Amino acid sequence: MAEHSGKDILSSDVEIKGSIKFQKELLIDGKVEGEINS
């Protein structure tokens, strides 16, 4: 998988129920119900 240098964004109209795991930068404007691991 190719890497990119930009930040990942979850916009305000995004809702996630579950788990999110990431290693770099993540901007969350939306709603997350669950576990976030960085």
In a domain, 25, yes or no: yes
Would you call 30 helix, strand, or coil by DSSP?
Answer: coil
Place of tokens 């290693």: 23
The residues, any chain, with a CB within 8 Å of residue 12's CB and separated by 6 or more, are 29, 30
In a domain, 3, yes or no: no
Alpha carbons within 13 A on the beta-carbon side of 28: 12
Looking at the 3D structure of the chain, how many domains does it have? 1
The confidence score (pLDDT) of residue 3 equals: 64
1-38 pLDDT, tens digit per residue, is 566 667 889 999 999 999 999 988 999 999 999 999 99
In a domain, 13, yes or no: yes
User: pTM (2 decimals)?
Assistant: 0.63
Domain that holds residue 14: 8-37
In a domain, 12, yes or no: yes
